[in-house]
Chain A
Amino acid sequence: MSEPKVRIRNLYKIFGPKDKAMVKHVEDGMGKPELLEKYGHVLGLNNINLDIPKREVQVIMGLSGSGKSTLIRHINRLIEPTSGEMIVDGEDVLEMSEDTLRQFRRKKASMVFQKFALLPHRTVADNVAYGLAVQDVADTEARERSQKWIDRVGLTGFENHYPAQLSGGMQQRVGLARALATDAEILLMDEAFSALDPLIRTDMQNVLLDLQEELHKTIIFITHDLDEALRIGDNIAILRDGMMVQQGSPQKIVMNPADDYVTDFIKDINRGRVLEVGSVMHKKPPARGPKIDSKVAIEDAMQTLLAAKAKEAIVMRDGKPAGGLSMEDMVGAIARGKGAATDSGAYT
């Protein structure tokens, strides 16, 4: 794997007046409730280590209070950490001077917010151009560059509307266009679609996936919705009480949940649609059978197998046979969801 875009090392965030002194207690294994009871400090992030690869979508997931919004705000330092490192392209954001940090926020990392946070007194066009105006880009150039993104997110014709005249979904399109207009390499999305109703949320996920297909930005996406995480994430990290519980590819997390917390998270998903055959196949490919790509979902693979009236299929990876797939493999993988908690054993 190439050098990660963002490297988070030993990051702690404790809220309270004597936060630095509290790190020691946390390092010695004190948990969130105990720290609050004994010292009156709130543990926000507990020793977070995470490598975020270039040009991929990293989802950070957790329930409310798990520290995910706190974590994303450390990447552009909207929140000051208690200790740790946040290395972006080899440079520690937490060591930056105020000026360097401002340049970093202007050019390198832009953000989309849960509550949109648009300027209510400015039109859609002015809102999208906001990041450029902050950089003192000349008006005509800013207009031109932002118009491209207004068109790209499907807001053509709404340039002169005010945010209050748009629906929630359209307001978030403005938020997305505003973040894209600065051409930052990193896109921070803090529960960006959580405030939208389900149909519009799916719609926005599609918009994002389409954009990512051509832009290949490093996207860090916060959500509490597992379906959303599985849909758009190349990698998922799960937080609980400020601690990293598990990180890895969606397939890995669904197949091998690290503990009960994660198991709970994944228990209601549609495993047939999420799991890919590459994750459930057995080693030995059969001599004959239909060929199925390793990235195909079980749901579709079942139909292919049934239609071919074959007992086993050949799973192909990069054009070469990589394994075999029987109906039992697939049914087993789907059924395992019910009893998965017994597998883990690590957490009771």
Chain B
Amino acid sequence: MSFLTEFPAMDRQDLRDLKKGIDFTFKDFSRTYGEAIENFFDPLLYFLVWFEQLLLATPWPVFIAIASGLAYLGSRSWKLALGTAFAFLLIGYMGMWKDTMSTVALVSVATLLCVLIGIPVGILMARSDRMQAVITPILDVMQTIPIFVYLLPVVILLGLGKVPGLMAVCIYALPPIVRLTNLGIRLVDKDILEAADAFGSSSRQKLFDVQIPLALPNIFAGINQTIMMALAMVVIASMIGVRGLGMPVLQSIQNQYLALGIFNGLAIVGLAIIFDRVSQKYGMRLQKHREGGHDV
């Protein structure tokens, strides 16, 4: 009866060989191609470093003025602009200016990267059901696989540092923008698409004149989600050597520095609130034309 009580598992020896085989193959792969892949990502690294240096080199009053100005342009709300200035002043006063600049740089570049990759992928997905069937499970895996599981191969391949950190953040933050771009385009009113067809629009014209503009509110919700998820990854990214607000949080966990953890954690929350409110308000402003009560 041992067949019923004991699961017919793979032989222990075979299993070990299998795991070993995978490990060695991957290590060989990274030894052979690691450098080439690193070189491939070099431009990204230079850009990230350049942007971080730029933020750090900017005099703090100038940075705060620009940040508040952008917040105002995005939201058209004085309250939000003042809140932004206040939050950065407080963060700087508490001695977290440098780390905050690093984090802002990382999150900005990660978001930019996700938008550049995510929106085209989302558009592709919306235009073909087969594409959607292929990409959806990949996104599911990206969102649900434990972060440490993909952190490891990324580190083996690229080592510790900014680029693997950026990769880790992007893997986690990319799905929402892809999903919401796809959804937004698929939700565009069929009647309006039919009208575009009836007037002889090419599919490119349909995409840029009708589908993307009408999907923008959803696309913006996706960008907002992507920013939030990128910020949430800041602490994890610090585990593979990314500097920023995550680093002190990590230290505080290892050494039970309660106050240090709280301060830096709140700084992350502050950034999150600023990014979230500004991008949300901007998304809402895009829908202003719907005001008037006569739904179209």
Query: Considering the chains assembled together, what is the distance between the CA atoms of A171 and B191 in angstroms?
Result: 15
- Shortest C-beta distance, A114 to chain B (Å), equals 8
CB pair B199–A131 under 8 Å, yes or no, is yes
CB pair B292–A106 under 8 Å, yes or no, is no
Query: Considering the chains assembled together, what is the distance between the CA atoms of A39 and B36 in angstroms?
Result: 60
Judge if B289 is at the interface, Cβ distance under 8 Å: yes
Main secondary structure of the interface of B (DSSP, over half): helix
Mark interface residues in A111-136 (1 if CB within 8 Å of B CB, else 0): 10101111111000000001101110
Q: Which residues of B contact A78 (CB under 8 A)?
A: 194, 197-198
Mark interface residues in A145-182 (1 if CB within 8 Å of B CB, else 0): 00000000000000000111111100100000010001
CB pair A120–B289 under 8 Å, yes or no, is yes
Q: CB < 8 Å: which of B289, B291, B292 contacts A121?
A: B289
Q: Which residues of A contact B202 (CB under 8 A)?
A: 102
Query: Considering the chains assembled together, what is the distance between the CA atoms of A120 and B191 in angstroms?
Result: 12
CB pair B199–A182 under 8 Å, yes or no, is yes
CB pair B201–A134 under 8 Å, yes or no, is yes
Tell me how many residue pairs across A and B have CB atoms closer than 8 Å.
85
Judge if A110 is at the interface, Cβ distance under 8 Å: yes
Judge if B214 is at the interface, Cβ distance under 8 Å: yes
Q: Which B residue sits closest to A170, measured CB to CB?
A: B294
CB pair A134–B292 under 8 Å, yes or no, is no
A162 with B289, Cβ < 8 A, contacts A106-B200, A120-B296, A135-B200 known: yes
Q: CB < 8 Å: which of A113, A134, A163, A167 contacts B200?
A: A134
Judge if B209 is at the interface, Cβ distance under 8 Å: yes
CB pair A117–B210 under 8 Å, yes or no, is no
Q: CB < 8 Å: which of A76, A119, A133 contacts B198?
A: A76
CB pair B192–A110 under 8 Å, yes or no, is no
Judge if B295 is at the interface, Cβ distance under 8 Å: yes
Q: Which residues of A contact B120 (CB under 8 A)?
A: none
- Shortest C-beta distance, B282 to chain A (Å), equals 15
Q: Which residues of B contact A271 (CB under 8 A)?
A: none
Segment 172-224 of B: residues with Cβ below 8 Å from A: 189, 191-192, 194-202, 205, 209-210, 213-214
CB pair A110–B295 under 8 Å, yes or no, is no
Q: CB < 8 Å: which of A103, A113, A135, A166 contacts B195?
A: A113
A110 with B198, Cβ < 8 A, contacts A133-B209, A134-B205, A164-B289 known: yes
Q: Which residues of B contact A134 (CB under 8 A)?
A: 196, 199-201, 205, 209
Number of interface residues of B (CB under 8 A): 25
Q: CB < 8 Å: which of B195, B205, B295 contacts A117?
A: B195
Judge if A13 is at the interface, Cβ distance under 8 Å: no
Query: Considering the chains assembled together, what is the distance between the CA atoms of A104 and B198 in angstroms?
Result: 10
- Shortest C-beta distance, A230 to chain B (Å), equals 27
A166 with B294, Cβ < 8 A, contacts A115-B191, A117-B191, A117-B194 known: yes
CB pair A111–B296 under 8 Å, yes or no, is no
Query: Considering the chains assembled together, what is the distance between the CA atoms of A118 and B289 in angstroms?
Result: 12
Of the candidates A116, A121, A167, the one having the most CB atoms from chain B within 10 angstroms of its own CB is A121
Judge if A7 is at the interface, Cβ distance under 8 Å: no
CB pair A164–B291 under 8 Å, yes or no, is yes
Judge if A54 is at the interface, Cβ distance under 8 Å: no
CB pair B296–A164 under 8 Å, yes or no, is yes
Q: Which A residue sits closest to B288, measured CB to CB?
A: A162
Q: CB < 8 Å: which of B192, B194, B199, B293 contacts A164?
A: B293
Query: Considering the chains assembled together, what is the distance between the CA atoms of A104 and B199 in angstroms?
Result: 9
CB pair B294–A165 under 8 Å, yes or no, is yes
Q: Which B residue sits closest to A162, measured CB to CB?
A: B289
Of the candidates B189, B200, B293, the one having the most CB atoms from chain A within 10 angstroms of its own CB is B200
CB pair A105–B289 under 8 Å, yes or no, is no
A117 with B192, Cβ < 8 A, contacts A105-B200, A133-B209 known: yes
Q: Which residues of A contact B19 (CB under 8 A)?
A: none
Q: Which residues of B contact A171 (CB under 8 A)?
A: 294, 296
- Shortest C-beta distance, A123 to chain B (Å), equals 8
CB pair B191–A164 under 8 Å, yes or no, is no
Q: Which residues of B contact A163 (CB under 8 A)?
A: 294, 296
Q: Which A residue sits closest to B202, measured CB to CB?
A: A102
CB pair B294–A168 under 8 Å, yes or no, is yes
Segment 175-209 of A: residues with Cβ below 8 Å from B: 178, 182, 188
Q: Which residues of A contact B130 (CB under 8 A)?
A: none
B interface with A by C-beta (< 8 Å): 189, 191-192, 194-202, 205, 209-210, 213-214, 289-296
The 4 A-B pairs with the shortest beta carbon distances in the complex, nearest first, are A106-B200, A105-B200, A165-B292, A117-B195
Can you list 7 A-B pairs, Cβ within 8 angstroms, ordered by A?
A102-B202, A105-B197, A107-B200, A116-B296, A118-B192, A118-B296, A119-B213
Question: What 13 additional pairs, Cβ within 8 angstroms, besides A116-B296, A134-B209, A162-B290?
Answer: A111-B198, A119-B192, A119-B210, A119-B214, A120-B214, A120-B289, A130-B209, A131-B199, A134-B199, A134-B205, A162-B292, A163-B296, A164-B291
